[in-house]
Amino acid sequence: NAGVMQNPRHLVRRRGQEARLRCSPMKGHSHVYWYRQLPEEGLKFMVYLQKENIIDESGMPKERFSAEFPKEGPSILRIQQVVRGDSAAYFCASSAGTGTANYGYTFGSGTRLTVV
Amino acid sequence: DAKTTQPTSMDCAEGRAANLPCNHSTISGNEYVYWYRQIHSQGPQYIIHGLKNNETNEMASLIITEDRKSSTLILPHATLRDTAVYYCIVSESPEDAGKSTFGDGTTLTVKP
Protein backbone atom coordinates (compact mmCIF):
# COMPACT_ATOMS: atom_id res chain seq x y z
CA ASN A 1 0.00 0.00 0.00
CA ALA A 2 1.75 3.11 -1.22
CA GLY A 3 -0.87 5.62 -0.08
CA VAL A 4 -0.83 8.19 2.70
CA MET A 5 -1.84 6.47 5.90
CA GLN A 6 -3.60 8.32 8.67
CA ASN A 7 -4.60 6.87 11.98
CA PRO A 8 -6.75 6.64 13.78
CA ARG A 9 -9.68 7.12 11.39
CA HIS A 10 -11.91 8.19 14.24
CA LEU A 11 -10.84 9.62 17.57
CA VAL A 12 -13.05 10.59 20.48
CA ARG A 13 -11.63 12.71 23.26
CA ARG A 14 -13.10 14.36 26.30
CA ARG A 15 -12.58 18.07 26.79
CA GLY A 16 -9.15 18.72 28.27
CA GLN A 17 -7.53 15.55 26.95
CA GLU A 18 -4.78 15.37 24.36
CA ALA A 19 -5.31 14.20 20.80
CA ARG A 20 -2.51 12.70 18.72
CA LEU A 21 -3.03 12.26 15.02
CA ARG A 22 -0.54 10.33 12.93
CA CYS A 23 0.32 10.55 9.26
CA SER A 24 2.67 8.30 7.32
CA PRO A 25 3.43 9.85 3.93
CA MET A 26 3.70 7.95 0.70
CA LYS A 27 6.95 6.11 0.21
CA GLY A 28 9.55 8.50 -1.11
CA HIS A 29 7.63 11.61 -0.04
CA SER A 30 9.41 13.93 2.34
CA HIS A 31 6.90 16.80 2.44
CA VAL A 32 3.84 16.65 4.67
CA TYR A 33 0.91 19.04 4.99
CA TRP A 34 -1.83 19.09 7.59
CA TYR A 35 -5.31 20.51 7.04
CA ARG A 36 -8.41 20.95 9.12
CA GLN A 37 -11.93 20.74 7.79
CA LEU A 38 -14.71 21.91 10.01
CA PRO A 39 -18.21 20.58 9.28
CA GLU A 40 -19.64 22.00 6.04
CA GLU A 41 -16.47 24.02 5.37
CA GLY A 42 -13.50 23.75 3.02
CA LEU A 43 -10.04 22.50 3.91
CA LYS A 44 -7.84 25.00 5.69
CA PHE A 45 -4.08 24.67 5.63
CA MET A 46 -2.44 24.31 9.02
CA VAL A 47 1.22 23.38 8.71
CA TYR A 48 3.84 22.26 6.20
CA LEU A 49 6.73 20.07 7.31
CA GLN A 50 9.73 18.39 5.82
CA LYS A 51 11.74 15.79 7.64
CA GLU A 52 12.66 17.23 11.06
CA ASN A 53 11.69 20.76 10.02
CA ILE A 54 8.61 22.92 10.19
CA ILE A 55 8.60 24.97 7.01
CA ASP A 56 5.38 26.91 7.39
CA GLU A 57 3.00 26.87 10.33
CA SER A 58 1.06 29.98 9.41
CA GLY A 59 -2.25 28.13 9.60
CA MET A 60 -1.71 26.62 13.01
CA PRO A 61 -3.56 28.02 16.02
CA LYS A 62 -1.08 29.72 18.29
CA GLU A 63 -1.91 27.65 21.33
CA ARG A 64 -2.43 23.95 22.07
CA PHE A 65 -1.52 22.76 18.55
CA SER A 66 1.87 21.41 17.52
CA ALA A 67 3.25 19.26 14.74
CA GLU A 68 6.38 17.30 14.10
CA PHE A 69 7.85 15.11 11.40
CA PRO A 70 10.77 13.20 12.88
CA LYS A 71 13.56 11.62 10.95
CA GLU A 72 12.03 8.23 11.61
CA GLY A 73 8.35 7.54 11.90
CA PRO A 74 5.15 9.33 11.00
CA SER A 75 4.26 12.97 11.26
CA ILE A 76 2.30 13.78 14.39
CA LEU A 77 -0.27 16.52 14.88
CA ARG A 78 -0.81 17.05 18.60
CA ILE A 79 -3.69 18.95 20.13
CA GLN A 80 -3.46 19.56 23.83
CA GLN A 81 -6.41 20.27 26.12
CA VAL A 82 -8.95 19.73 23.38
CA VAL A 83 -12.14 21.76 23.27
CA ARG A 84 -15.39 21.11 21.42
CA GLY A 85 -14.38 23.52 18.70
CA ASP A 86 -11.50 21.21 17.77
CA SER A 87 -14.00 18.64 16.49
CA ALA A 88 -13.23 18.35 12.80
CA ALA A 89 -11.72 16.17 10.12
CA TYR A 90 -7.94 16.47 9.96
CA PHE A 91 -6.31 15.55 6.68
CA CYS A 92 -2.70 14.96 5.87
CA ALA A 93 -1.16 15.19 2.41
CA SER A 94 2.30 14.35 1.16
CA SER A 95 4.37 15.18 -1.86
CA ALA A 96 7.83 14.51 -3.17
CA GLY A 97 8.54 18.23 -3.39
CA THR A 98 10.41 20.11 -6.07
CA GLY A 99 12.17 18.51 -8.97
CA THR A 100 9.57 15.85 -9.50
CA ALA A 101 7.35 15.34 -12.46
CA ASN A 102 4.25 14.72 -10.43
CA TYR A 103 3.13 17.86 -8.68
CA GLY A 104 0.02 16.34 -7.30
CA TYR A 105 -0.46 15.87 -3.61
CA THR A 106 -1.72 12.62 -2.21
CA PHE A 107 -4.12 12.92 0.66
CA GLY A 108 -4.89 10.48 3.40
CA SER A 109 -8.40 9.48 4.39
CA GLY A 110 -8.36 11.77 7.39
CA THR A 111 -8.88 11.51 11.10
CA ARG A 112 -12.25 12.54 12.41
CA LEU A 113 -11.83 14.02 15.85
CA THR A 114 -14.86 14.33 18.09
CA VAL A 115 -14.54 16.14 21.39
CA VAL A 116 -17.23 15.31 23.88
CA ASP B 1 -7.44 36.68 -0.23
CA ALA B 2 -9.35 34.31 -2.48
CA LYS B 3 -7.43 33.83 -5.71
CA THR B 4 -10.13 31.82 -7.45
CA THR B 5 -13.88 31.97 -7.76
CA GLN B 6 -16.06 29.02 -8.59
CA PRO B 7 -19.81 28.50 -8.78
CA THR B 8 -21.23 27.04 -5.62
CA SER B 9 -22.96 24.12 -7.26
CA MET B 10 -23.67 22.44 -10.58
CA ASP B 11 -25.71 19.51 -11.81
CA CYS B 12 -24.83 17.18 -14.64
CA ALA B 13 -26.63 14.26 -16.24
CA GLU B 14 -24.89 10.91 -16.05
CA GLY B 15 -22.93 10.17 -19.21
CA ARG B 16 -22.75 13.81 -20.23
CA ALA B 17 -19.70 16.05 -20.02
CA ALA B 18 -19.35 18.09 -16.86
CA ASN B 19 -17.72 21.49 -17.40
CA LEU B 20 -16.59 23.19 -14.22
CA PRO B 21 -15.42 26.80 -14.57
CA CYS B 22 -12.92 28.65 -12.45
CA ASN B 23 -12.01 32.33 -12.58
CA HIS B 24 -8.50 33.35 -11.59
CA SER B 25 -8.25 36.85 -13.01
CA THR B 26 -5.27 37.82 -10.84
CA ILE B 27 -3.15 34.81 -11.75
CA SER B 28 0.52 35.63 -12.28
CA GLY B 29 2.75 34.30 -15.03
CA ASN B 30 4.40 31.73 -12.80
CA GLU B 31 1.27 30.31 -11.25
CA TYR B 32 -0.17 26.94 -12.15
CA VAL B 33 -3.83 25.98 -11.99
CA TYR B 34 -4.52 22.87 -9.92
CA TRP B 35 -7.75 20.94 -9.59
CA TYR B 36 -8.68 18.62 -6.76
CA ARG B 37 -11.91 16.96 -5.76
CA GLN B 38 -13.29 15.67 -2.50
CA ILE B 39 -15.85 12.93 -2.47
CA HIS B 40 -17.97 12.98 0.65
CA SER B 41 -16.04 12.07 3.81
CA GLN B 42 -12.90 11.18 1.88
CA GLY B 43 -9.56 12.92 1.50
CA PRO B 44 -9.16 15.24 -1.49
CA GLN B 45 -7.89 13.72 -4.70
CA TYR B 46 -5.57 15.38 -7.19
CA ILE B 47 -7.09 15.60 -10.67
CA ILE B 48 -4.93 17.67 -12.96
CA HIS B 49 -2.83 20.82 -13.23
CA GLY B 50 -1.62 23.14 -15.97
CA LEU B 51 0.25 26.34 -16.70
CA LYS B 52 -0.62 27.59 -20.17
CA ASN B 53 -1.43 24.70 -22.42
CA ASN B 54 -4.49 22.53 -22.24
CA GLU B 55 -3.90 19.29 -20.41
CA THR B 56 -5.54 15.89 -20.47
CA ASN B 57 -5.14 12.80 -18.37
CA GLU B 58 -7.14 9.69 -17.64
CA MET B 59 -9.45 11.59 -15.30
CA ALA B 60 -10.15 14.90 -16.97
CA SER B 61 -9.17 17.68 -19.33
CA LEU B 62 -8.13 21.17 -18.34
CA ILE B 63 -8.78 24.06 -20.70
CA ILE B 64 -6.99 27.32 -19.84
CA THR B 65 -7.95 30.49 -21.69
CA GLU B 66 -5.28 32.29 -23.64
CA ASP B 67 -5.15 35.17 -21.15
CA ARG B 68 -5.04 32.56 -18.34
CA LYS B 69 -7.70 34.38 -16.37
CA SER B 70 -10.03 31.44 -16.31
CA SER B 71 -10.07 27.71 -16.85
CA THR B 72 -12.51 24.86 -17.22
CA LEU B 73 -12.23 21.35 -15.90
CA ILE B 74 -13.96 18.86 -18.14
CA LEU B 75 -15.10 15.41 -17.06
CA PRO B 76 -15.96 13.95 -20.48
CA HIS B 77 -18.45 11.29 -19.39
CA ALA B 78 -19.61 12.01 -15.86
CA THR B 79 -20.66 9.10 -13.68
CA LEU B 80 -22.49 9.05 -10.38
CA ARG B 81 -19.15 8.48 -8.67
CA ASP B 82 -17.97 11.88 -9.91
CA THR B 83 -20.36 13.58 -7.50
CA ALA B 84 -18.00 15.58 -5.30
CA VAL B 85 -16.75 19.03 -4.37
CA TYR B 86 -14.24 20.28 -6.94
CA TYR B 87 -11.55 22.75 -5.91
CA CYS B 88 -9.58 25.05 -8.20
CA ILE B 89 -6.30 26.43 -6.80
CA VAL B 90 -3.61 28.63 -8.30
CA SER B 91 -0.07 28.46 -7.05
CA GLU B 92 3.49 29.08 -8.17
CA SER B 93 4.77 25.81 -6.86
CA PRO B 94 3.59 22.49 -5.50
CA GLU B 95 4.69 23.59 -2.04
CA ASP B 96 2.60 26.75 -2.21
CA ALA B 97 -0.35 24.79 -3.58
CA GLY B 98 -0.11 22.59 -0.56
CA LYS B 99 -0.37 25.64 1.66
CA SER B 100 -3.57 26.81 0.00
CA THR B 101 -6.88 26.98 1.69
CA PHE B 102 -9.17 25.06 -0.56
CA GLY B 103 -12.17 27.31 -0.17
CA ASP B 104 -15.70 26.24 -0.90
CA GLY B 105 -15.24 24.79 -4.38
CA THR B 106 -18.05 23.66 -6.66
CA THR B 107 -20.36 20.90 -5.54
CA LEU B 108 -21.02 18.79 -8.62
CA THR B 109 -24.01 16.51 -8.48
CA VAL B 110 -24.25 13.91 -11.22
CA LYS B 111 -27.82 12.75 -11.67
CA PRO B 112 -29.06 9.52 -13.27
> pLDDT tens digits, residue range A39-85?
888 889 999 999 889 999 999 999 999 999 998 899 999 999 999 99
Q: How many C-beta neighbours within 10 Å does residue B34 have?
A: 24
Assign A98 a pLDDT band (cuts: 50, 70, 90). Answer: low
Digit-coded pLDDT (tens) for B14-68? 999 999 999 999 998 888 898 999 998 788 888 998 999 899 999 999 999 999 9
In chain A, residues with a C-beta closer than 8 Å to the C-beta of B37 are: none
What number of C-beta contacts closer than 8 Å exist between A and B?
73
CA distance B104 to chain A (A): 5
CA distance B13 to chain A (A): 25
Tell if the CB–CB gap between A33 and B99 is shorter than 8 Å.
Answer: yes
Which residue, among A86, A81, A104, A97, has the nearest Cα to A28 in the 3D structure?
A97
Assign A106 a pLDDT band (cuts: 50, 70, 90). Answer: confident
Digit-coded pLDDT (tens) for A11-44? 999 999 999 999 999 988 888 999 999 988 888 9
Q: Quick check: B97 and B38 in contact, CB under 8 A?
A: no
